Structure 1
Amino acid sequence: MIRFINEHRDRYGVELICRVLKPAVQGFLTSRGYRAALARTPSARRLRDELLVPEVARLHAENYGVYGRRKMHALMRRQGW
């Protein structure tokens, strides 16, 4: 949701987006919560994912894009992840 708000906030404004989507999306952020989420430091999970995503994409491409979840998991473990 943060990315969606970032993409559309110049056109509609944060407050309007949050007010419109709040009834539609269970547990949706308020404009105050949105600003707090932007100020937070990235979590350990997010930092690790930023490292893993390019590596997974590279290994998947090296294997002609045919490896599924199980083979990719085994390959990542062999690579030391």
Structure 2
Amino acid sequence: MIQFIDDNKAEYGIELICRVLPIAPLTYHRAIDLENSPEKRSLRSQHDDFYVGEIKRIWQDSKCRYGVRKVW
């Protein structure tokens, strides 16, 4: 939904799009702020991002052969 608003905000404006869609303008602005400033995200979300990168690295180092049991 955020991508849709980004794509159409020049033509219709954020407030008008948010009025039609079931989303508050503040929610849109908060999502954009969190996307641009990862340090403002929750600690859990920051840890998840770190571990996703590590899991992908381990999986790629195994030439994409390891499954969940070996990666975890």
Name the TM-score, length of structure 1 as normaliser. 0.54
**Mapped partners of 2:52, 2:16: distance in 1:** 33
Give ranges in structure 1 of 5+ residues lacking alignment: 23-28, 74-81
Is the alpha carbon distance of 1:71 and 1:7 closer, same or farther for their aligned partners in structure 2, counting shifts above 3 Å? farther
Aligned-residue RMSD, C-alpha = 2.9
Partner of 1:13: 13
| Secondary structure of the structure 2 residue equivalent to 1:67 | coil
1:32-75 CA distances to partner (integer Å, 9 max, x unpaired)?
A: 232245379210112112211221111010111122223221xx
More helix by share: 2
Poorly superposed stretches of 4+, deviation over 4 Å: none
Are residue 61 (structure 1) and residue 50 (structure 2) matched?
no
1:19-39 CA distances to partner (integer Å, 9 max, x unpaired)?
A: 3331xxxxxx31023224537
The AA in structure 1 aligned to 2:7 is H
Is the alpha carbon distance of 1:21 and 1:6 closer, same or farther for their aligned partners in structure 2, counting shifts above 3 Å? closer
Name the TM-score, length of structure 2 as normaliser. 0.59
The alignment of Structure 1 onto Structure 2 pairs a total of residues equal to 66
